[in-house]
C-alpha cells in the first residue's frame, strides 16, 4: 500500500508541476495543435494549443513508479520492480514513442495527419508483439508467468490458444484500445477522465487480487496473478500523472496529450488487462472508449453500404457537438458514463465474492 501511495503522489506532483513547464516550452517552440478543416467549427479556436503533453504523463508515471521502489531500497524490506510491471511500462512507453513520432510529424509538416496509417499500425504491432511474447515468459517461484496463453474475464478460462493465437489476440486488444483512447481524445479532458477511472479500478483490482492470491491460500475464487501489488503500483503511478495533467487539460485545455498520451494510455490499460487476467472485463471497464470506437465503425460501415450517415459526425462526441451541446456538458456527461461503466465492471469483478443465500 505504501508503494501505491508513493507512486501516485510523486507522479501527481511531477505532472502537475511539469505540465506548465511543458506548456511554456512547447509554446516557445511552436509545438501547437493542427485542426482538421472538416471538424466542428468550434475547434478552430484550439489551433496552436500546445500538444504532445503525453510526454509529461509518461515521464511522470515512470519516475513515480521507480521512486516508489527506490524508497523501499532504503528500508528493511526491499521490493524490486517486478517483471509484470516492467512489461506494462514497456508497452506504455513503446506506444507512447509511436504516438510521439506521429505528433512530431504533424507539427514538423504542419498538417493534421502524422504517420501514415500503415507505419503507425506497424509500430503498434511491433511493440505489441514483443509484449505478447515476453509476458508468457519469466515464471516466478510458483511457476506463474505475467500472462497465460488463454483468454480471461475475471481470471483465465478455457484451453490455451497457443502462442501464435495469443499473440494475435494481444495485438488485437492493444491496437484496439490504444486507438480507442485516441478516438476518445477529441474534447478537452475527455480521454484523461475516461482513462482515469479505468486506472483507479485497476488499483482496486490489484489490491483485491493480492489479498486473495492463490500463492497465499488456495481457495475456490483465488487469483493466479504473478505480481498483483506491483501492477496496482503501476496503475497508481499512471493515474497520479494523469490527474496532474488533467489539472491543465480540463476545459478549456491549456495543453493536449496528443497521440503520445492517448496511445500510451491505451497501451497501459491493455497491458494491465493481460497481466491481471481481466482481458474481456476491460471491454466493460473501458466502456466509453469502446462505445466511441463503435460509433466510428458504425458510421464508416453504414456510409459505405448506403451512402448515408448515422451520426452527424463521428466519433460520437462530435455528433453531440454538432447538435449544439456545450463541450463541457459533453465531457462531464461522458465522464459519468465512463464512471458507470467502471462501476459496473467492478460490480462484476466482486460479484462472485457476494454471499450466496
Could you write out the DSSP letters of every residue in 276-326?
A: TT-TTHHHHHTHHHHHHHHHHHHHHHHHHHHS--SSSSSSHHHHHHHTT--
* Nearest CA among 235, 251, 302 for reference residue 84: 235
Tell me the C-alpha to C-alpha distance, in Å, between residue 340 and each of 206, 286, 344.
20, 10, 6
- Predicted confidence at residue 128, as pLDDT, reads 97
- Give me the chain's average pLDDT, please: 91
* Nearest CA among 270, 24, 251 for reference residue 131: 270
- Predicted confidence at residue 37, as pLDDT, reads 52
d(CA 123, CA 114): 13
- Predicted confidence at residue 219, as pLDDT, reads 78
* Nearest CA among 271, 266, 280 for reference residue 180: 266
* Nearest CA among 160, 138, 154, 288 for reference residue 209: 154
d(CA 312, CA 220): 50
* Nearest CA among 355, 329, 321, 343 for reference residue 42: 321
d(CA 70, CA 199): 22
Is the pLDDT confidence value at 155 over 60? yes
Mean pLDDT of 44-50: 68
Is the pLDDT confidence value at 35 over 80? no
Is the pLDDT confidence value at 34 over 70? no
Banded pLDDT at 33 (limits 50, 70, 90): low
* Nearest CA among 84, 104, 109 for reference residue 227: 84
Mean pLDDT of 266-285: 97
The β-bridge partners of 213 are 223
Angle (CA) 56-30-317 rounded to 5° is 65
Strands in 102-229 per DSSP E: 151-152, 156-157
Mean pLDDT of 64-75: 83
Q: Which of 4-8, 100-104, 218-222 has the highest mean pLDDT?
A: 4-8
- Predicted confidence at residue 40, as pLDDT, reads 59
Mean pLDDT of 294-311: 93
d(CA 134, CA 128): 10
Is the pLDDT confidence value at 51 over 90? no
Neighbours of 160 (CB within 10 A): 13
Count CA atoms within 13 Å of residue 258 on its CB side.
37
Is the pLDDT confidence value at 200 over 80? yes
Of 98-107, 227-236, 241-250, least confident by mean pLDDT is 98-107
Mean pLDDT of 260-270: 97
Secondary structure (3-state) at 223: strand
Question: Is cis: bond before 252, omega within 30 of 0?
Answer: yes
Is the pLDDT confidence value at 39 over 60? no
Return the DSSP state at 135. T
108 or 294: whose pLDDT is higher? 294
What's the burial of 212, exposed, middle or buried (CB within 10 Å: 0-12/13-18/19+)?
middle
Please report where in the chains the cell 471497464 appears, as a residue: 285
Non-local CB neighbours of 82 within 8 Å, separated by 6+ positions: 226, 227, 230
d(CA 200, CA 32): 30
Banded pLDDT at 117 (limits 50, 70, 90): confident
Is the pLDDT confidence value at 172 over 90? yes
Q: Which of 53-57, 72-76, 186-190, 212-216 has the highest mean pLDDT?
A: 53-57
Is the pLDDT confidence value at 144 over 90? yes
Amino acid at each position: 500500500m505504501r508503494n501505491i501511495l508513493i507512486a501516485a503522489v510523486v507522479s501527481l506532483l511531477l505532472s502537475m508541476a511539469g505540465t506548465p513547464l511543458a506548456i511554456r516550452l512547447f509554446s516557445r517552440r511552436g509545438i501547437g495543435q493542427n485542426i482538421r478543416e472538416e471538424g466542428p467549427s468550434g475547434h478552430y479556436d484550439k489551433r496552436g494549443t500546445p500538444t504532445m503533453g503525453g510526454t509529461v504523463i509518461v515521464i511522470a508515471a515512470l519516475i513515480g513508479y521507480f521512486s516508489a521502489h527506490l524508497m523501499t531500497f532504503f528500508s528493511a524490506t526491499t521490493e524490486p520492480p517486478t517483471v509484470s510491471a516492467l512489461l506494462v511500462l514497456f508497452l506504455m512507453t513503446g506506444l507512447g514513442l509511436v504516438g510521439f513520432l506521429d505528433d512530431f510529424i504533424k507539427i514538423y509538416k504542419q498538417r493534421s495527419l502524422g504517420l501514415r496509417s500503415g507505419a503507425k499500425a506497424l509500430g503498434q504491432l511491433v511493440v505489441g508483439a514483443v509484449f505478447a511474447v515476453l509476458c508468457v515468459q519469466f515464471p516466478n517461484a510458483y511457476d506463474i508467468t505475467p500472462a497465460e496463453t488463454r483468454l480471461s474475464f475475471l481470471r483465465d478460462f478455457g484451453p490455451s490458444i497457443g502462442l501464435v493465437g495469443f499473440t494475435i489476440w494481444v495485438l488485437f486488444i492493444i491496437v484496439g484500445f490504444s486507438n480507442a483512447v485516441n478516438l476518445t481524445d477529441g474534447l478537452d479532458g475527455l480521454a484523461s477522465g475516461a482513462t482515469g477511472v479505468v486506472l483507479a479500478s485497476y488499483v482496486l483490482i490489484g489490491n483485491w487480487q493480492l489479498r486473495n492470491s492463490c500463492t497465499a491460500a488456495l481457495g475456490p475464487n483465488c487469483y493466479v496473478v504473478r505480481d498483483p501489488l506491483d501492477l496496482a503500483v503501476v496503475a497508481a503511478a499512471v493515474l497520479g500523472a494523469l490527474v496532474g495533467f488533467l489539472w491543465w487539460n480540463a476545459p478549456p485545455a491549456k495543453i493536449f496529450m496528443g497521440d503520445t498520451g492517448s496511445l500510451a494510455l491505451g497501451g497501459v490499460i491493455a497491458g494491465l488487462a493481460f497481466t491481471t487476467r481481466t482481458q474481456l472485463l476491460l471491454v466493460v471497464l473501458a466502456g466509453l472508449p469502446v462505445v466511441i470506437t463503435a460509433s466510428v465503425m458504425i458510421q464508416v460501415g453504414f456510409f459505405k453500404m448506403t451512402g448515408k450517415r448515422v451520426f452527424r459526425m463521428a466519433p460520437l462526441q462530435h455528433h453531440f457537438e454538432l447538435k449544439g451541446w456545450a463541450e463541457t456538458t459533453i465531457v462531464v456527461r461522458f465522464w459519468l458514463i465512463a464512471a458507470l461503466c467502471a462501476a459496473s465492471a467492478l460490480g462484476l469483478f466482486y460479484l462472485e465474492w457476494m454471499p450466496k443465500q
